Amino acid sequence: MARNENLEGKVVWITGASSGLGEALAKEFALQGAQVVLSARRFEELEKVRVSLLHPDQHISICADITDETQVRHAYEQVLEQKGRIDWLINNAGLSQRALIADTTMQTERAIMEVDYFSQVFLTKTVLPTFIQQKSGHIAFVSSVAGLLGTQYRASYSAAKAAIHMWANSLRAEMAEQGVGVSVIFPGFIKTNVSFNALNGAGKPQGYQDEAIENGLEADEFAEIVVRSLQRGEEYIVVGGAKEKLGVLVSRLSPKTLYKMIRKMKVK
């Protein structure tokens, strides 16, 4: 992949684009000259984001529930119909968790895996033939530092985010000769509504902000770092504060030390 890839005119499809990391990424891609395709379930929210972007008429809102395969196929057809091609796919839509394993129902376990793993796999498989035909494209998956470490209250979320990371690694190996790049992004604590919407054990939104998220990195700063890294062709992108970066480093050097640290931490 070209270093410092020029995004001028490129069609970038972002899921979960109605708020949070998706909205911040959309704004940054638009600033870099991309034509942004915004996807989420709520059309009105997508339109609010679209009109806030630089050159709003270049961008489109495509409403879809990414867990519904029929809606995903229809969204894909609409993107190709309206834009003619897709250059980058940013698998950002996700669902977090704040519950102990003992308190988490199997229904909630499956709901998190459906959004954070299976839906991203299906959307990527849907778009892949276009990239292979073009012999170009870039696919990015928003995983999480939680997918590298595994902490209390996030077991299902950590598992799903780890799963998409490993799937992406396999995809990268398979696509190496096809001109298709694959990157995985690992956000730490970023200021968004993720903890408001995180599921408790019964599958209901938590409804309040975590202290760690409240004190996290600003979403626009996250987006700048991510887009710059993707333009350079980076494949493994950790974005967060010193604590999260230290945790990732320790996880590689001494997993035993890391889990001693995690047991002592207040992570909820």
Catalytic residue list: 157
207: how many CB neighbours lie within 10 A of its CB? 10
Contact 183, 230 (CB under 8 A): yes
Give the three-state DSSP class for 237: strand
How would you label 147-177 residue by residue, b for 16+ Cβ within 10 Å and e otherwise?
A: bbbbbbbbbbbbbbbbbbbebbeebbeebee
Q: Which helix (H) or strand (E) holds 61?
A: strand 60-63
Give the three-state DSSP class for 63: strand
Residue 107 CA to residue 114 CA, distance in Å, equals: 10
Residue 92 CA to residue 182 CA, distance in Å, equals: 14
